[in-house]
Amino acid sequence: MCGIAALQLRNPLLHPRMGSLLSSMMCQIVDRGPDSAGLAVYDTPGLVSASTSTLSLLGREQGLPAAGIAAALENLLPASAGTAVKVVGDTTFVSSAVDTELLAKAVRETLPDSTIIGRGEHVAVMKSVGHPMDIAAEHGLGAMSGSQGLSHTRMATESAVTAGGSHPFSVADDLCLVHNGSFSNHATIRRDLLREGVVFDSDNDTEVGARYIASRLKQGDTLEEALTNLGKVFDGFYTLVVTTADSMAVVRDPIACKPAIIAETDDYVAMASEYRALASLPGIETASIFEPEPGKVYTWSL
């Protein structure tokens, strides 16, 4: 049993409240997953900026101080890239005005033991082990602004309780996936993806789902098509939320074993594992509230 809370803000006037709204939603799903948690926020000033690639690295300790990491990267990247390193909570952020893959290559060369947990121009990913609200507070979620937010509280079932096994999984630029449930055939699909050259960072079944979606998108699928194809290939019980730079999608397994509730207004789309996580959102009394149908992919765009 895990908890999911996701928020897409259509009204820019709500962007300054993204962190506080997501924090209040997350508070209501803590008992669904008390051992670890993760966050993804989009277009948050101070963490990401336009035309700049940002990598989120797991952990505050990377073997070098932030200034040392920046200096080492500057020797590998163009002088005009403006490389910067920032530690927030238990996450290290590396930003540079270069292509994301070029930045990732330089980071892997400089910090070979690092784990990249987020990447892109719009998303910042944070995750750790501990009480979910402590993790949110340590990263300053309540004060963050942004266009979208995604949170997950984890009760581990398929793999160990580790920060790396926490959700979201972000394995392609600005793409994030969170998951409540389990995939029963993830080992088989992992082997198929490994044969295609896909590299994994954990033994978590959710990462397999994220890597599969990234692979389908790379082959030309739309987000809706990628999730439809996932439903044809993956067995198990699940509710998934996937976000990109400008969209959010929700899908449940064909018998809708895992809970999900959606609230939609002109100002936002919100999804949570339980209604109580939506109850304090602005305008909730007039929102369209519904449970996603089994096997149906729902998508929204900014």
Pairing of the two strands 236-243 and 84-88: unpaired
* C-alpha dihedral (96, 99, 104, 107), degrees to nearest 10: -40
How crowded is the C-beta side of 204, counted as CA atoms within 13 Å?
26
Buried b (16+ CB within 10 A) or exposed e, 64-102: eebeebbebbeebbeeebebbbebbbbbbbbbbbbebee
Q: Amino acid identity of 56?
A: S
For residue 135, give the H/E element and its range: helix 132-138
Indicate if the alpha-carbon torsion angle 29, 30, 31, 36 is positive or negative. Answer: positive
CB 55 within 8 A of CB 82: no
Q: Which two tokens stand for residue 3?
A: 């908890």
Q: Which two tokens stand for residue 37?
A: 């948690």
- Residue 2 annotated as catalytic: yes
Residue 147 phi, psi (nearest 5):
-95, -30
CB 54 within 8 A of CB 121: yes
**CA–CA gap between residue 291 and residue 54 (Å, rounded):** 35
- Quote the longest CA-to-CA distance of the chain: 55
**Does the N-terminal peptide bond of residue 292 adopt cis geometry, omega within 30 degrees of 0?**
no
CB 147 within 8 A of CB 42: yes
The catalytic position among 2, 27, 176, 257 is 2
**CA–CA gap between residue 13 and residue 9 (Å, rounded):** 9
User: Which residues are annotated as catalytic?
Assistant: 2
